[in-house]
A and B are shown apart, each in its own frame.
Chain A
Amino acid sequence: MNTTWSRFNIASVVLGFAFLYLPIVLLVIYSFNESRLVTVWAGFSTKWYFALFNNRGLMDAAWVTARVGVLSASIATVLGTLAAIALTRYTRFRGRLLFSGMIYAPLVMPEVITGLSLLLLFVAVNFDRGFWTVTLAHITFSMCFVAVVVQSRLVTFDRSLEEAAMDLGAPPVTTFFKITLPVILPAVISGWMLAFTLSLDDLVIASFTSGPGATTLPMKIYSQVRLGVTPEINAICTILIAIVATGVIIASLINKRREVQRIRDEQAAFRI
């Protein structure tokens, strides 16, 4: 295998990464700009971060987003996990193909349509729009993602583990909580994180289903940007990037370490 770097390779890697990350890097740099003008560099400062914490509107929106995210991700994880179990386990019920197809449909459904149809539903049943409608809407679309993530883990799950537990005297409910859930927990957690991230950055569906007093952060940012980009917006976006990046890095480090540990253990086992 050729491992030396040709000039062409270097150029394509640099260009590729620049294409992906240059906008983000610019945003992060300008969040530390002294000047009020976004495009003019006037020296390093962290004052916009402090300003941010005094901006009631942004802080309220961040708090709404966090609550919607945690609540909707948690409920979506429960529902999505149950759906995944039903679809992997009960392979012989009528209409299974239709059901599993329907699980995937919201993944490719344009957000505008999901948002609009949810709005129509809430109006039709006379549900006051606000915190709960956004949360419900987020549960609706993110549980499909959870179901897909958990389902892919369940496909490789060894059913004999559950049979062994039942054989040893554990009723089905005990078996689920003591055996099945702990074994698929990593997939459930990544499902939760995916659902939380989706909720965190959703603008379209939230715009359709939200009401007064329940403005989420993406909605707030979007409406402020229409009045002009302020360094405060850059600052809050930098914080969001930091949160998401930390989450992703931690998750992959945990996975990596577990994998390395497992391989080392297995090698150790065979030396005995």
Chain B
Amino acid sequence: MESFGSFRRKFAPWDDPAAKPYIRFENVTKTFGDFTAVNDLSLDVFNREFFALLGASGCGKSTLLRMLAGFEEPTSGRILLDGQDLRGIPPYRRPVNMMFQSYALFPHMTVEGNIAFGLKQDGMAKSEIDARVGEMLKLVKLEQFAKRKPHQLSGGQRQRVALARAVAKRPKVLLLDEPLGALDKKLREETQFELMDLQYKLGLTFMVVTHDQEEAMTMADRIAVMDHGRIMQVATPAEVYEAPASKFVADFIGNVNLLEGAVEKAGSGEVEIAAATQGLTIRADTSKALSSGQNVWFAIRPEKIRIGREKPVDASFNAVEGELWDIAYFGDMTVFHVRLDNGDLIKASSLNAVRKVENPLTYDDRVWVSFDTDAGLVLTA
């Protein structure tokens, strides 16, 4: 089996045909009037998985989460949690808890009061509640803020109170709606790792909704990329990035060059594509069965393209000449926009691994862009 990128932990129940899914969406549809928010969607999530629903706003990801929490009922289809059909069970009887995008902290209660609220509803003994609240405060490092009201806390602290409140009841599943959306970039990056750590420590199943692909890629075991109420692909972050199922996913996640063309020569395991814009033929590896003349797209990530003044020696490489059109310097890397001689624009990025460069590339330079036959992906949809 092929493997992509890097992975965090040996955890892949979705590859095990005997593994039983923990949360199961079965042909779930949700309509609001004429608008279909979720369209005949099926999805399995496994116990202890960190699962991310990724998509643009309005793609149905939040609706999916709210149906699991019980705030919306599916128009058709069903949702199973640990084998139990959730239809008709009100939110206050579901063994899931949610962390809200706005945090939804109770403004008239202290931090302690907020965390204890759910425990009180279960009729837990006072001593037990105190112990659990203390434990939660310690977990999110807010011990000295126990008596504060939410408006006396900073954004990051509020986020942690919301998290502590949501996990205090030890739910079977924790739902997180844009958990880091309101934090600034630096804090967001730190908190991502804290969330992952917490999920691992508590051994819970996390289902997070986000529009931020970096967030999803960093935290999740698997990502579901959603669009218009449907799932476009469910896979590990590395698979989604390196082996996107469609043009949409390739374009949605990260940066990509998409070149349209027609199959010229289809062989076993490899293909030659004539780009729609004249004067460019691409040789690529593929496992797809393609027929001659078929319309396809060649997708290649900018960092998989080499750029230089010299033509590469290796004749098996695809190599094409062009002019340097634009340069975006990001510090850690530089993105070059190259106008090929046939008019196509290609993005190539390179890591700035050394500090000093002799004779750096600049505007209007004649350059060669080149890539190996397995650097890109042939897509048919």
Binding site for B on A (CB under 8 A): 158, 160-161, 163-171, 174, 178-179, 182-183, 262, 265-266, 268-270, 272
Cross-chain pairs A/B with CB under 8 angstroms, 18 sampled: A158-B104, A160-B100, A160-B104, A161-B104, A163-B104, A164-B104, A164-B165, A166-B90, A167-B92, A167-B96, A168-B118, A169-B169, A170-B92, A171-B90, A171-B92, A265-B151, A266-B151, A269-B157
With A160-B102, A167-B98 known, 14 other A-B pairs at CB within 8 A are A161-B104, A164-B98, A168-B92, A168-B117, A168-B121, A169-B121, A169-B122, A178-B117, A179-B106, A183-B106, A183-B107, A269-B153, A269-B154, A269-B157
Q: A158-B102, A183-B107 are in contact. Are A268 and B92 (CB under 8 A)?
A: no
C-alpha gap A161/B104 in the complex (Å): 5
A165 to B120, CA, bound (A): 11
Compute how far the CA of A270 lies from the CA of B96 in the bound complex, rounded to whole angstroms: 32
Chain A residue nearest to B97 in the complex (CB): A167
Q: Which residues of B contact A (CB under 8 A)?
A: 69-71, 90-93, 96-98, 100-102, 104-108, 117-118, 121-122, 149, 151-154, 157, 165, 169
CA distance A267 to B100 in the complex (A): 24
Choice from B100, B102, B104, B151 contacting A262 with Cβ under 8 Å:
B151
On whether the beta carbons of A165 and B117 are closer than 8 Å, the reply is yes
A164 contacts which of B93, B100, B152 (Cβ < 8 Å)?
B100
Chain A contact residues, majority secondary structure: helix
Task: Tell me the minimal C-beta distance from B51 to chain A in angstroms.
Answer: 19
Do A169 and B107 touch (CB < 8 A)? Answer: no
- Establish whether residues A165 and B106, one from each chain, have CB atoms under 8 Å apart when the complex forms: yes
Complex Cα–Cα for A178 and B154 (A): 25
Q: Is the CB of B92 within 8 A of A166?
A: yes
- Which one of A164, A171, A182, A270 contacts B108 once the chains associate, using CB atoms below 8 Å? A182
A163 touches B154 (CB 8 A): no
Provide the residues of chain B in CB contact with A169, threshold 8 Å.
92-93, 118, 121-122, 169
How many cross-chain pairs have Cβ atoms below 8 Å apart between A and B? 75
The answer to whether B92 and A163 have CB atoms under 8 Å apart is: no
Write out the residue numbers on chain B whose beta carbons fall within 8 Å of the beta carbon of A166: 70-71, 90-92
**A270 cross-chain contacts in B, Cβ below 8 A:** 154
When distances are taken between beta carbons in the complex, the residues of chain B under 8 Å from A163 are 69, 71, 91, 98, 100, 104
Q: Report the minimum CB–CB distance from A45 to chain B (whole Å).
A: 50
**Distance between Cα atoms of A185 and B96 in the complex (Å):** 30
Q: B98 to chain A: which residues have CB within 8 Å?
A: 163-164, 167
Query: In whole angstroms, what is the CA distance A270 to B69 when docked?
Result: 32
Q: Give every chain A residue within 8 A of B165 (Cβ-Cβ).
A: 164, 168
- Identify the closest chain A residue to B96 (Cβ): A167
Cβ distance B323 to chain A, nearest Cβ, rounded Å: 50
Instruction: Give A78 Cβ to nearest chain B Cβ, in Å.
Output: 20
**CA–CA, A270 and B165, complex, Å:** 22
Inter-chain CA distance A168–B90, complex, in Å, is 11
Contact residues in B for A161 (Cβ distance below 8 Å) = 104, 106-107
Bound CA span A96–B97, Å: 33
Q: A268 to B151: give the CA distance in the assembly, Å.
A: 10
Partner of B152, one of A160, A170, A268: A268
Chain B nearest CB, measured from A262 CB (Å): 6
Give the chain B neighbours of A160 by CB distance below 8 A. 100-102, 104
- Are A272 and B154 in touch, CB under 8 angstroms? yes
- Selected from A158, A174, A183, the residue in CB contact (under 8 A) with B121 is A174
Question: Are A265 and B152 in contact (CB-based, < 8 A)?
Answer: yes
Q: Complex Cα distance A163/B72, Å?
A: 11
Distance from B146 Cβ to chain A, minimum over Cβ atoms (Å): 15
Residue of A nearest to B149 (CB): A265
CB distance from A180 to the nearest CB of B (A): 10
Docked Cα-Cα span, A270 to B152, in Å, equals: 9
Residues of chain A with a CB closer than 8 A to B91's CB? 163, 166-167
Assess the B97–A168 pair: CB atoms within 8 A. Answer: yes
- The answer on a CB contact under 8 Å between A170 and B117 is yes
Question: Which residue of chain B lies nearest to A164 when distances are taken between CB atoms in the complex?
Answer: B104
